[in-house]
Amino acid sequence: MRTVLALAAVHALLLGRSVDGRPISAYRVGNPRGTPVLVFGVIHGNETAGLAIARALEKTSPKDLDLWIVPDLNPDGVAAGTRGNAHGVDLNRNFSWRWRPMGGVYESGPRPFSEREARIARNLILRVRPHVTIWFHQHLDMVWASGGDRRIEKTFARVSGLPYHPMPQLAGSATTWQNNTLKGTTAFVAELLAGPARNVQRYVRAVFAASRR
């Protein structure tokens, strides 16, 4: 099936604000009656290549998908060039599945969902109940697959060109929280190379191909 990349009618929704008050928004394109899909461009503020892919997805109009895009879940981290949010918390260790106290670069916060950005993501996932959720990270050059449907993950890997690697389920991560909380859905990480995003349209096609499995 060929992917339609027509200009879309974009519906913007303010989800909330970061610790420092910056807006966090979602953009909805495609067909509201289609298969729900969710894409996060940035969760770590020093890993921003996914922004370009998120912006490209906003310009599409997949007729069979209800596509939700959050370009930047961590605007304070992006502004500061830091992995964590304004509290220094790694948002990808702040979800509740097997959460445990961690420090250093993986600072997990004082408790699960202590950070408003993590709560914003959780609430949106529970609202949309996506068939697939894709989180863009850097810099490992791989699909980090941990607990979802391997057919979906491998389809994304094949179309995107990223190597496919089954990996452990990390304590407190967003993907493992979804895969263990919303059974029948799939969440995984697309780890891009360091630097600006390359082959953006290839990743757009990979999002659509994985979403249709």
Instruction: Note whether residue 38 is domain-resident.
Output: yes
Flag whether 66 is in a domain. Answer: yes
- Tally of domains in the chain: 1
pLDDT tens digit sequence for 32-45: 999 999 999 999 99
102 inside domain: yes
Domain, as residue range, for 98: 12-211
Domain at 28, CATH number: 3.40.630.10
Answer yes or no: is 4 within a domain.
Answer: no
144 within some domain:
yes
Rounded CA separation 164/114 (Å): 32
Instruction: Give the HSE-up count for residue 117: Cα atoms under 13 Å, Cβ half-sphere.
Output: 34
In a domain, 54, yes or no: yes
Over its length of 213 residues, how does the chain's per-residue pLDDT go in tens digits?
333 344 458 999 999 999 999 999 999 999 999 999 999 999 999 999 999 999 999 999 999 999 999 999 999 999 999 999 999 999 999 999 999 999 999 999 999 999 999 999 999 999 999 999 999 999 999 999 989 999 999 999 999 999 999 999 999 999 999 999 999 999 999 999 999 999 999 999 999 999 999
Q: How far apart are CA 161 and CA 140, in angstroms?
A: 13
Residue 37: phi, psi to the nearest 5? -140, 145
Residue 183, in any domain of the structure? yes
Q: Is 5 inside a domain boundary?
A: no
